[in-house]
Structure 1
Amino acid sequence: MKRRLNNIFKSDGKAVVLAMDHGNGMSVLPELNNPGEIIKKAVAGGIDALLTSYGIATTFQKEIGNIGLILRADGGTSQLAKSTDKSMEIIYQVENAIKIGADSMLAMGFPGASNEDITLKGLAKLINEANKYNLPIGAEMLPRGFEPAEDSRTGDNLAFACRIGAELGADYIKTAYSGDKESFKKVVEGCYKPVLVLGGGVSKKEKDLFQMIKDSLEAGASGVIIGRNIWKHPNPDKICAAIAAIVHENVTVEKAVKMI
């Protein structure tokens, strides 16, 4: 298991992960018409791992090369569904990940959502099965899931959700940034597993994205898992290089902006 985690987290204990797992439920067109080209540029920019779908993982093996590979384990609904209550059931098994050479799998956990039992039970079963094969599991812990609620991303609820993920046995946690270093520090301190910050669906200005990354790292995060703010960017290689420099070299936000 440690060798597989070392393919994701570098020797400094941090990771820069490109998320390209959106297409199994939402429209990614036209930006991801050519996933292989974006993967090549992101790898050249210095990403450590790729979180992606089964289809991309099996089609673009050459472009993925030797970086860490994380397979999205759940899904089952699309943006065409009228309900915000996305089921996100486990749809791929541990054997699928091992067969394609993945280093890890990742699944959602939605504490407080109307379907929390589906996601939390599914996550726990996936972790239990993965332990038989020493395959690390990441948990994307989002309070109330995709359901709109004022308190869904507060520091206290994020801390609670991330702790649940750790208690279920996840090897690392993906979650949202709470908005300030003080509250996010409590999220990290309350979770005894590495915490990776997601980029969020809303496109951010480069400086704002870099500042969020910098602040989360200073609060104790172990890196980032960022999707649309990378694969929608006109220069994926440059923004990946800038993010990697912040995470692994502790460069300033100002210097990172100049790298674009």
Structure 2
Amino acid sequence: MSMEYRLRRTLPSDRVAIIMPVDHGLIFDRIEGLETPSEPFAAWGKNDVTGFMMTPGQVRQTARYFAANPHLTRVLTIDTYYDYREMDGGGSHGLITDIEEAVRMGVDAVKMLFPWNMSNAERVAMCTRVGKIVNECNRWEIPLVLEPVIIGAPRSEEVIVHEEKIARIAYDLGAHIIKIAFPGEERTRRLVEELKVPLVIAGGPLAGNPADTVDAVAQTIRSGARGVIVGRNIWQRERSEGEKVLADIAKLTREVKFDD
């Protein structure tokens, strides 16, 4: 399978992708709404999502379900971290699988964090690690979703500006898709226009009322992003409310087509 094939599956041309992340167990242990890690797929797969962001354990345990539902894509999380909370804090980041194994499992893309609240020496090591992964992804023709992030920081103006700068480093390292927390409509549009790499926007933890979530997605789509990553803002809500939010988001994503 080619890079182009996998990119088009992950980010379709006839709509904005809705990728539901359910890989939180790698860092959060047992989390509300995800007590049984294999349940979200059958529970939400028919609610107009385009795919899921998953752990290796989830990929292996749900192979039969995805074989029966080939329209759904799988983005495999290949790393984990513990625990960056402050600049130059003593966190640690590492890989939990490799690209050859991801291809063997048949996933459509891989995803990796790009945390930046670390020492300069750790930043160099991080860039070196990402560079090697990009090379492996190019070799095996599978896209890398790279996520620039200041982990644990409040969404202050300073953090938003900082993450925008890190997104540019992610571009220079060769990321095929960049995942970033929503920096606002204007900044998202600027990143889309300047970097010319597909952007997907993360919804983050459960917050605000449903209308706020839908409005943020609407701004994201107007800005030219290729996908929205919405998980806890859906599956941690009461079921009927979560279904309504997802239906409203899906309607917005189907109003856009891309010329690729």
TM-score using structure 2 length: 0.84
For 1:257, the equivalent position in structure 2 comes to none
**2-structure distance, mates of 1:232, 1:85:** 31
**2-structure distance, mates of 1:173, 1:58:** 25
For 2:250, the equivalent position in structure 1 comes to 244
Question: SS of 1:249's equivalent?
Answer: coil
Structure 1 residues 200, 136: CA separation in 2 closer, same or farther (over 3 Å shift)? Answer: same
2:168 pairs with 1:163:
yes
For 2:126, the equivalent position in structure 1 comes to 119
**1-structure distance, mates of 2:41, 2:247:** 13
**1-structure distance, mates of 2:62, 2:187:** 39
Question: SS of 1:18's equivalent?
Answer: strand
Structure 1 residues 237, 47: CA separation in 2 closer, same or farther (over 3 Å shift)? Answer: same
Instruction: Read off the aligned partner of 2:200 and give its amino acid letter.
Output: L
Structure 1 residues 149, 214: CA separation in 2 closer, same or farther (over 3 Å shift)? Answer: closer
1:153 counterpart (134, 151, 159): 159
Question: SS of 1:21's equivalent?
Answer: coil
Question: SS of 2:159's equivalent?
Answer: coil
Instruction: Read off the aligned partner of 1:240 and give its amino acid letter.
Output: L
Structure 1 residue 229 displacement after superposition: 1.1
For 2:43, the equivalent position in structure 1 comes to 41
Query: 1:1-260 maps to which residues of 2 (within 5 A)?
Result: 1-12=3-14, 14-64=16-66, 65-66=69-70, 67-77=72-82, 85-111=90-116, 113-114=118-119, 115-142=122-149, 144-147=150-153, 150-154=156-160, 156-178=161-183, 180-235=184-239, 236-249=242-255
Instruction: Read off the aligned partner of 1:6 and give its amino acid letter.
Output: R
Q: Which runs of 5+ in 2 are unaligned?
A: none
**1-structure distance, mates of 2:221, 2:33:** 29
Structure 1 residues 137, 231: CA separation in 2 closer, same or farther (over 3 Å shift)? Answer: same
Question: SS of 1:45's equivalent?
Answer: coil
For 1:256, the equivalent position in structure 2 comes to none
Instruction: Read off the aligned partner of 2:213 and give its amino acid letter.
Output: L
Question: SS of 2:107's equivalent?
Answer: coil
**1:89-146 deviations in whole A, cap 9, x for unaligned?**
222101221121111111011245334334332222111111111111110112x343
TM-score using structure 1 length: 0.84
Question: SS of 1:50's equivalent?
Answer: strand
Name the % identity: 24
Structure 1 residues 11, 186: CA separation in 2 closer, same or farther (over 3 Å shift)? Answer: closer
**1-structure distance, mates of 2:128, 2:155:** 23
Q: Which runs of 5+ in 1 are unaligned?
A: 251-260
Structure 1 residue 245 displacement after superposition: 1.4
Structure 1 residue 161 displacement after superposition: 1.5
Structure 1 residue 85 displacement after superposition: 4.8
**1:187-209 deviations in whole A, cap 9, x for unaligned?**
32232201111011243321100
Contact 1:25–1:76 at 8 Å: present in 2 too? Answer: yes
